Amino acid sequence: MNITASMVKELREKTAAGMLDCKKALAEAEGNMDRAIDLLREKGLAKAAKKSDRIAAEGLVGVAISEDGKKASMVEVNSETDFVAKNEEFIGFVDNIAKIALENNPSNLDELLASSYENEGTVKDALNAKIARIGENMSIRRFSVLSVDSGRIADYVHGAGKIAVLVKMQASNDSEKLETLGKDIAMQMAAMNPKYISRDDVDPEYIAHEKEILIQQALNEGKPQNIVEKMVEGRLQKQLKEVCLLDQTFVKDSDKTVQDVVNETSKEIGSEIKLTDVVRFEVGEGIEKKEENFAEEVAKQLGN
């Protein structure tokens, strides 16, 4: 029987097994999809698929940075439990994926998953092998690669890989002071998690939305209509200082803003410094974790 590409694709989606394994299984099963699935399961190659519905919200963020500090990558790899995230094999896998992203600079997640991984085939193949061996669902959720021609990229990893930050700085003088500044700003990003770099980056829709809320808050407080506008403007400016990185109070010196520290370092190194990009990954952010309710589970089993 002729085994088509669409059949191989369908089997891969159902089992998460490798393409060649799927093709062999379909050939052996003479095109019977159910039999091919059974064959893959019998060989342990479809073990990963049985865990695909489990929520992987733990894990690690890994960072790789070039020796000259001109290029860096960051990747989030998720697991089901924090216990597995502390496993040496898992930690090594995350580090390797970050290095592969740094070297290959893939344009999307599919390209990263299709990249070569040591002697285990592709990254996707290696991931499935880890799932089968460790026994938990895992996923490579996202990655970022930054590069700069003139300047430096700094990184900071917090909580043994639970939060990581990359900071891209453009400057004509690449000195140790620039690297120190980058580390400090990355720590600021990790701790304070601002939405924007500067006020120039703030989405006008965000401003309009927040202003509308603040106006309603002031009116609900019983403030006179004639002073609401001025009062809201003051509150909005205060809020922008919290959501814009450069306007934030510097965590290492509360008498200065981050912009003040950038300006001081610019004078010290004799070069203008521009923060052109910042990326912050926090493990599991935005993933809805499944919360088990023991009483409800027992009730279901008892038919109540």
Mean pLDDT of the chain, nearest integer: 88
Q: What are the residue ranges spanned by the domains of the chain? A: 5-51, 54-147, 203-242
pLDDT of residue 165: 98
Domain 54-147 is found in CATH 3.40.50.800: no
pLDDT score of 292 more than 50: no
144: nearest Cα among 129, 152, 155: 155
Q: Higher-confidence residue: 19 or 267?
A: 267
Q: What's the CATH fold of domain 5-51?
A: Helicase, Ruva Protein; domain 3 (1.10.8)
pLDDT score of 239 more than 80: yes
Q: Give per-residue pLDDT as tens, 244-282.
A: 999 999 999 999 999 999 999 999 999 999 999 999 999
Percent of the chain's residues with pLDDT above 90: 57
pLDDT score of 71 more than 90: yes
pLDDT score of 291 more than 60: no
183, HSE (Cβ side, Cα atoms, 13 Å): 7
* Domain 203-242, CATH number (from 1.10.645.10, 3.40.50.12780, 1.10.286.20, 1.10.287.3510): 1.10.286.20
pLDDT score of 54 more than 80: no
pLDDT score of 304 more than 60: no
Q: Give per-residue pLDDT as tens, 125-171.
A: 999 999 888 888 899 999 999 999 999 999 999 988 999 999 999 99
pLDDT of residue 300: 52
239, 196 contact by CB (below 8 A) = no
Q: How confident is the model at residue 230 (pLDDT cuts 50, 70, 90)?
A: confident
pLDDT score of 52 more than 60: no
pTM for the model stands at 0.75
Which amino acid, 194? Answer: P
pLDDT of residue 301: 46
Q: Give per-residue pLDDT as tens, 160-219.
A: 899 999 999 999 988 899 999 999 999 999 999 999 999 999 999 989 988 888 888 888
DSSP 40-97: HHHTTTTGGGGGTTS---EEEEEEEE-TTSSEEEEEEEEES-HHHHT-HHHHHHHHHH
